[in-house]
A = this chain, B = another copy of it.
Amino acid sequence: MHLFYADELNPQQALLGKEESHHATRVLRLAPGEEVLVTQGKGVIYKGVITQLSKTEARLDITGTFSEEKRQKYLHIAIGPTKSLDRFEFFLEKATEMGVDEITPLLSFHSERKVYKTDRGRKIIQAAAKQSLSNWLPQLNEPVNFNTILDSTSPQRCIAHCDASRKREDLLTSVSSYPNCLVLIGPEGDFSREEIEAAAAKGFAEVHLGTRRLRTETAGIAVVMAGKLY
């Protein structure tokens, strides 16, 4: 069954906006009377029947609950957008499939890419959440500067970096035990020494991701997988 994101949703009815209605009519060629799934990405997926359908709007009667998921753990990844958009957006897709909660594009000293249009990212995230029948839609924030993220109030805050001369914990074996965690992942050139020291001074734990040299997007995928798949 196909999953749609509703603009408005209550336990009786749902309203789909323009993009989802277009997808239902023009791509999937659905008709009134057909059963679909509908969610707002906040934990519950409902079953519904299409009652009205046009290119710009669709209405559904809710017939029951398909699935419900309570969040056990909250994982926020702040990650340098890679030079290649494809690589960054592949990260967005995979992180969504695996259940990340929040993503922030992080601009730092060695960033190869200084802007990211989050409209593009939100479409990718929504498509991935639909495809994987996820109850939760991750939040994609606007890009922020490195110094701004240091003021985050997450209970558990980590900075992943490649400087083996500094003492670091192994994040991949510990992240699944953190109920609410923010992880900073650097761009292609890693974080600068000054950035690592600034984060440490603000109380961030310094961490590594094992012995392999992982690309930025691979590091992000590894952290989400370790934190969410178990």
Contacts and interface: CB of A to CB of B under 8 A. Distances in A.
Contacts of A94: 218, 221
A149 interface: no
B173 A97 contact: no
A172 B230 contact: yes
A134 B213 CA distance: 8
A167 interface: no
B98 A218 contact: yes
A181 interface: no
Contacts of A97: 212, 214-215, 218
Nearest to A90: B90
Contact of A212 (B99, B173, B218): B99
A132 interface: yes
A179 B97 CA distance: 28
Contact of A230 (B173, B213, B221): B173
A205 interface: no
Contacts of A52: none
A28 interface: no
Contacts of A131: 213, 215
A189 interface: no
A130 to B, nearest CB: 10
A210 interface: yes
B226 A229 contact: yes
A75 interface: no
Interface in A106-153: 131-134
A88 B115 CA distance: 28
A168 B113 CA distance: 44
Contacts of A86: 86
A196 B65 CA distance: 31
A214 B98 CA distance: 8
Interface of A: 86, 90, 94, 97-99, 131-134, 172-173, 209-210, 212-215, 218, 221-222, 225-226, 229-230
